[in-house]
């Protein structure tokens, strides 16, 4: 018979209520599953076909420990699937209908069905694998690799897919030794939800499709993994060296790679890496309804989604959550690594508590760390930064810039008490002077003190000095006595301006006796003494004023007449780093904590410890460009017989003025941190500083179950946020903090 044709054998079996005839086909070269002819007889299965053509494998006799060991040259499963016959008697199956009993199971069915592949080619699992008869654990082991695309399992208690070599000990499966090989999940993925648990062990695992499991363990890297596990379900692994007697397998750059179209979905997930320097990369989704444990020995790089009830991540290297990646826990999130980097819109979230511990540094750059409960951060260096703070200078309409400059200081017209348009228009006013302002004698009050204080348009002329309180009148002859004249009457405003009480009016002489009355003379003497004392006090004030005026009087100056174009900063983008807790927050940054253009907010107590704590904002330089002319004016003396001249010199003027525009951040605080109450309609603070703090809010905000920040819009869109709420945000969690 041609070896490319099938050889058909007919077998009969009796059972049930009559004669049952079942036709099985022995598979040769064209078969998808081929036993290894070089394997020992007790490890060589019989490969047949069910009546509908589905491969049927009569597994070998199990050991006393219940392990059926089967060795193949090829183990591929296509769309129709394959059946592993674990029944002593004829039994119905989902894939092949009724199948005959397995003659190799005279001593009983297997507890574990071990399928080892000796080949240089990987195995392809593209369809379902069914255990006929008693439920058993199914193991597929091929050191050359395993490609999965649409595999599922029926009637299997557990699933193991590995590139490791099984290690047997007196008929018991002891461990798996992985030295190389890759498991790839593609296309239609891997569905193990019919089994209690599933395990994938290979030096590299690439997930390009979904994996569904009840309890999933993935061990990547060269390691020996025990068949048993710890009490918490975590695998027991020991890193091993490559086989030195054979060429080492290619070392992958990433042990476990979950692509954007891939995902892991299970009730519990354990992901373990064993080789130094190799990491776990997730661009897809890793979701656990319960415990999620990631133990990469190298980097963990996440730009996808990692969800779990309780998430535990431990890395000897670094954890990078980047590019919008999300790691979110419903109860607790704990991350321990040498370095933790949360960047570019990524989020570390917990609806309960969170603890982040790094032996080197933690960086939160334009990303968010948020726990609705307590948050603890422990690291030598903590950086919370805004990597996307950008501004630009926007030109404003030009304004006239008219200033008088003296010794490098520019004065506005109103500062000089003048209304000048151009000081150079009065070119013949050689007597002009300019008085600089003084804080002690502001122009708003003191120009009214003397009538000679004329304020002509554009500048000052005349004297700025005040006369003394008494003026001596000259005598026309040589034998007259000089008299004095009071310069300032009691009602003159100078008394009030200089802060001296006026002397008042003299006493009136009595009708009887007149000026000869001794009592009146005594009163008059007292009045004159008081008057002189008040005038002396006023003269002291006038002297101080005149000295100040003399020091501030200018006869030369520079006037700048230009157009000022202001360039003011405008924020183009900002993505602050945010570290937020609804409960207490404890930060222990041993060496440095830098909060740069970002936010650290605690709903409860904020406790910060560290050698260097810096809360830094950015200073943006605004710019004003000036373009016009400068006019220098000075007085030239011409001698006794000529009038002095006032000269003017014109020159172009260009200048750039820069000023800082700080971007403020909240002050650093340790211990109990109480942020200020916002000024809005939501809050009303008691102005009594001695009273207890009371914050009143709209009562709709006090019940978090009745309020979302955009409830009106959600109602208008007929959207139910309970079914789509995935992330923490504004109205969803702020009522927890303010209510």
pLDDT digits (tens, 9 = 90+) for 175-199: 999 998 999 999 999 999 999 999 9
| Of 59-68, 241-250, 611-620, highest mean pLDDT | 59-68
477 pLDDT band (50/70/90 cuts)?
low
Kindly state the DSSP code that residue 249 receives in the 8-state scheme: P
Is the distance from CB of 577 to CB of 389 less than 8 angstroms?
A: no
Mean pLDDT of the chain, nearest integer: 80
In 388-474, the DSSP E strands lie at 390-395, 399-406, 409-411, 434-435, 470-473
What DSSP line would sit under 277-335, residue for residue? T-EEEESSEEEESSEEEEE-SS-EEESSEEEEEEEEEE-SSEEEE-TT-EEEEEEEEEE
> Which of 154, 120, 132, 278 is closest to 205 using CA atoms?
278
Distance CA 50, CA 98 (A): 8
Question: How much is the pLDDT for 483?
Answer: 66
- Bridge partners, 19 (sequence order): 14
473 pLDDT band (50/70/90 cuts)?
low
Residue 5 confidence (pLDDT) above 60: no
Q: Which residue has the higher pLDDT, 129 or 237?
A: 129
Distance CA 640, CA 631 (A): 28
- Bridge partners, 356 (sequence order): 335, 377
699 pLDDT band (50/70/90 cuts)?
very low
Least confident segment among 122-136, 419-433, 577-591: 419-433
Q: Which residue has the higher pLDDT, 614 or 27?
A: 614
Farthest CA pair distance, the chain: 169
Backbone angles phi, psi at 449, to 5 degrees: -75, -30
Indicate the burial class of 395 (C-beta count within 10 angstroms; 0-12, 13-18, 19 or more). exposed
Q: Which residue has the higher pLDDT, 62 or 647?
A: 62
Question: What six digits make up the tokens of 276?
Answer: 């130094």
> Which of 566, 607, 557, 600 is closest to 580 using CA atoms?
600
Q: Which residue has the higher pLDDT, 164 or 413?
A: 164
SS3 of residue 104 by DSSP: helix
Question: What six digits make up the tokens of 735?
Answer: 């009522």
Q: Which residue has the higher pLDDT, 95 or 504?
A: 95
Question: How much is the pLDDT for 149?
Answer: 97
CATH class of the structural domain 1-142: mainly beta
419 pLDDT band (50/70/90 cuts)?
low
Question: How much is the pLDDT for 553?
Answer: 77
Distance CA 341, CA 155 (A): 44
Q: Which residue has the higher pLDDT, 250 or 590?
A: 590
Distance of CA 563 to the CA centre of its chain: 43
Distance CA 673, CA 592 (A): 19
> Which of 337, 330, 348 is closest to 384 using CA atoms?
348
Is the distance from CB of 634 to CB of 647 less than 8 angstroms?
A: yes
> Which of 30, 119, 120, 35 is closest to 69 using CA atoms?
35
Question: How much is the pLDDT for 138?
Answer: 98
Backbone angles phi, psi at 499, to 5 degrees: 75, 35
- Model's pTM, two decimal places? 0.67
Q: Which residue has the higher pLDDT, 231 or 56?
A: 56
Is the distance from CB of 81 to CB of 54 less than 8 angstroms?
A: yes
Is the distance from CB of 161 to CB of 185 less than 8 angstroms?
A: no
Helices (H), 612-662: none
Question: How much is the pLDDT for 581?
Answer: 96
641 pLDDT band (50/70/90 cuts)?
low
Q: Which residue has the higher pLDDT, 106 or 248?
A: 106
Question: How much is the pLDDT for 479?
Answer: 62
Question: How much is the pLDDT for 408?
Answer: 80
* Mean pLDDT value across residues 599-613: 93
| Non-local CB neighbours of 539 within 8 Å, separated by 6+ positions | 468, 469
219 pLDDT band (50/70/90 cuts)?
very high
Distance of CA 532 to the CA centre of its chain: 76
Question: How much is the pLDDT for 256?
Answer: 85
* Mean pLDDT value across residues 713-725: 51
| Non-local CB neighbours of 217 within 8 Å, separated by 6+ positions | 197, 198, 199, 200, 229, 233, 234, 235, 269, 270, 271, 272
The residue with tokens 């009087």 is 553
Question: How much is the pLDDT for 428?
Answer: 57
b/e map 142-176, b = 16+ CB within 10 Å = bbbbbbbbbbbbbbbbbbbbbbbbbeeeeeebebb
Least confident segment among 421-430, 488-497, 601-610: 421-430
pLDDT tens for 391-414 read 888 888 988 888 888 888 888 866
The CA–CA distances, whole Å, from 319 to 254, 338, 358, 523 equal 14, 8, 10, 97
Least confident segment among 457-461, 482-486, 508-512: 457-461
Least confident segment among 351-360, 388-397, 470-479, 695-704: 695-704
pLDDT tens for 508-521 read 888 876 677 888 88
- Bridge partners, 623 (sequence order): 567, 658
| Of 173-182, 421-430, 458-467, 468-477, highest mean pLDDT | 173-182
Question: How much is the pLDDT for 732?
Answer: 39
Measured at the CA of 533, the angle between CA 531 and CA 538, to 5 degrees, comes to: 95
> Which of 63, 108, 54, 106 is closest to 84 using CA atoms?
54
Question: How much is the pLDDT for 245?
Answer: 52
The share of the chain scoring above pLDDT 90, in percent, equals: 46
Residue 695 confidence (pLDDT) above 60: no
Element (H, E) at 168: strand 165-169
476 pLDDT band (50/70/90 cuts)?
low
| Non-local CB neighbours of 718 within 8 Å, separated by 6+ positions | none
Q: Kindly list the domain boundaries of the chain, sorted by start residue.
A: 1-142, 433-554, 676-739
Is the distance from CB of 645 to CB of 430 less than 8 angstroms?
A: yes
Question: How much is the pLDDT for 662?
Answer: 55
């Amino acid at each position: 018979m041609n070896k490319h044709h099938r050889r058909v054998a007919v077998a009969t079996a009796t059972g049930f209520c009559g004669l049952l005839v079942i036709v099985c086909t022995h598979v040769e070269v064209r078969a998808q599953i081929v036993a290894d002819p070089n394997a020992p007889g007790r490890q060589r299965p019989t490969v047949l076909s069910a009546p509908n053509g589905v491969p049927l494998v009569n597994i070998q006799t199990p050991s006393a420990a219940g392990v059926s060991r089967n060795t193949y040259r090829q183990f591929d499963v296509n769309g129709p699937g394959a059946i592993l016959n674990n029944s002593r008697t004829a039994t119905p199956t989902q894939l092949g209908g009724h199948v005959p009993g397995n003659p190799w199971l005279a001593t009983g069915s297997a507890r574990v069905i071990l399928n080892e592949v000796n080949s240089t080619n990987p195995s392809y699992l593209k369809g379902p694998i069914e255990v006929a008869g008693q439920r058993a654990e199914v193991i597929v082991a091929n050191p050359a690799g395993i490609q999965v695309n649409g595999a599922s399992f029926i009637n299997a208690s557990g699933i193991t897919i590995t590139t490791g070599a099984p290690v047997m000990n007196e008929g018991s499966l002891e461990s798996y030794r992985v030295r190389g090989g890759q498991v790839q999940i593609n296309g239609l993925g891997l569905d193990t939800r019919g089994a209690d648990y599933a395990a994938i062990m290979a030096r590299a695992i690439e997930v390009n499709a979904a994996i569904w499991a009840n309890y999933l363990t993935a061990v990547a890297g060269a390691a020996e993994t025990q068949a048993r596990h710890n009490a918490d379900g975590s695998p027991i692994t020991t890193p091993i060296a490559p086989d030195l007697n054979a060429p080492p397998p290619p070392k992958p750059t990433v042990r476990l790679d979950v692509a954007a179209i891939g995902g892991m979905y299970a009730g519990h997930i354990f992901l373990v890496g064993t080789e130094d320097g190799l990491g776990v990369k997730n661009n897809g989704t890793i979701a656990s309804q319960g415990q999620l444990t990631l133990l990469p020995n190298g980097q963990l790089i996440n730009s996808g989604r990692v969800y779990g009830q309780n998430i535990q991540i431990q890395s000897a290297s670094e954890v990078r959550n980047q590019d919008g990646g999300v790691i979110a826990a419903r109860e607790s999130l704990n991350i321990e690594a040498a370095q933790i980097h949360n960047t570019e819109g990524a989020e570390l979230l917990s609806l309960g508590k969170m603890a982040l511990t790094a032996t080197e540094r933690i960086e939160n750059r334009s990303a968010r760390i948020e726990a609705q409960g307590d948050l603890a951060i422990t690291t030598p260096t903590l950086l919370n930064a805004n990597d996307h703070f950008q501004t630009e200078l926007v030109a404003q309409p030009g304004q006239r810039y008219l200033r008088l400059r003296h010794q490098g200081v520019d004065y506005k017209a109103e500062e000089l008490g003048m209304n000048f348009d151009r000081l150079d228009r009065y070119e013949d006013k050689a007597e002009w002077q300019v008085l600089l302002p003084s804080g002690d004698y502001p122009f708003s009050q003191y120009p009214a003190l003397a009538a000679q204080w004329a304020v002509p348009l554009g500048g000052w002329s005349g004297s700025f000095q005040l006369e003394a309180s008494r003026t001596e009148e000259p005598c026309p002859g040589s034998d007259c006595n000089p008299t004095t004249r009071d310069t300032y009457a009691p009602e003159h405003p100078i008394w009030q301006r200089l802060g001296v009480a006026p002397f008042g009016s003299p006493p009136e002489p009595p009708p009887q006796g007149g000026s000869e009355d001794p009592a009146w003379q005594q009163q008059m003497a007292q009045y004159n003494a008081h008057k002189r004392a008040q005038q002396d006090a006023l003269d002291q004030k006038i002297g101080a004023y005149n000295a100040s005026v003399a020091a501030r009087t200018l006869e030369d100056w520079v006037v700048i007449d230009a157009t000022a174009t202001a360039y003011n900063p405008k924020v183009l983008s900002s993505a602050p780093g945010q570290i937020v807790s609804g409960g207490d927050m404890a930060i222990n940054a041993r060496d440095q904590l830098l909060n740069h253009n970002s936010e650290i907010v605690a709903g409860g107590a904020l406790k910060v410890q560290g050698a260097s704590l810096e809360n830094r904002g950015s200073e943006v330089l605004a710019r004003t460009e000036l373009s016009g002319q400068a006019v220098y004016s000075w007085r030239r003396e011409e001698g006794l017989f000529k009038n002095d001249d006032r000269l003017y010199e014109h020159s172009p003027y260009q200048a750039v003025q820069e000023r800082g525009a700080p971007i403020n951040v909240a002050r650093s605080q340790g211990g109990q941190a109480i942020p200020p109450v916002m000024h809005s309609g939501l809050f009303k603070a008691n102005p009594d500083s001695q009273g207890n703090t009371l914050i009143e809010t709209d009562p709709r905000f006090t019940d978090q179950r009745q309020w979302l920040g955009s409830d009106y819009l959600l109602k208008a869109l007929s959207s139910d946020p309970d079914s789509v709420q995935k992330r923490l945000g504004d109205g969803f969690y702020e009522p927890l903090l303010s209510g």
